[in-house]
Structure 1
Amino acid sequence: MDGRVTTEDTAICSAKGCRLPAVWVLAWNNPKLHTPDRRKTWLACDDHREHLSNFLDLRGFLKDVVTLEDWHRSAADG
């Protein structure tokens, strides 16, 4: 995952200057650079989820928005 992590392994929001814990995973890819199945990720707190989602969606990059809990569960399932 591309999101930032503190020394306590707490996922932190990817918004510039934000230090709040992440709650959301925004999965995206740039079709000019990545294969269709590749997923990059940004992490978002509740306050920045809409802003970061809109930024990616306007560029046609946003693929999925899920809770961090669901993202970890999906990764554990394989």
Structure 2
Amino acid sequence: MIGGPERHTCSRADCRLEATAAIEWRNPRIHTGDRVKVWLACDDHVGVLRDFLAARAFPLEVKRLDASADRVR
């Protein structure tokens, strides 16, 4: 990509901050075990997004994004 690594934006509505974490989750009522959805979150919203999913008892995992390699750790 020209201009450096891709910038990942937080998935929270109206947030334009750079994401620092990936929240991998699924709704077991409609997703099979091999289907995982990913929301990206900035430091300010990782807790809000995680809590929203956890309140619904969705299986989830939070992983920090590795900015230097532009991937999830």
Q: Give 1:59 shift.
A: 0.6
Residue equivalent to 2:42: 45
Query: CA RMSD for the aligned pairs?
Result: 2.2
Residue equivalent to 2:26: 29
What TM-score comes out, normalization by structure 2 length?
0.80
Q: Alignment length, in residue pairs? A: 67
Structure 1 unpaired stretches of 5+ = 1-7
CA 1:68–1:53: 2 relative to 1, 3 Å: same
Three-state SS of the structure 2 residue aligned to 1:68 is strand
Contact residue 26 and residue 62 of structure 1 kept, 8 A: no
Distance 1:71 1:32 in 2: 32
What TM-score comes out, normalization by structure 1 length?
0.76
Structure with higher Rg: it is 2
Contact residue 10 and residue 40 of structure 2 kept, 8 A: yes
- Amino acid aligned to 2:56: R
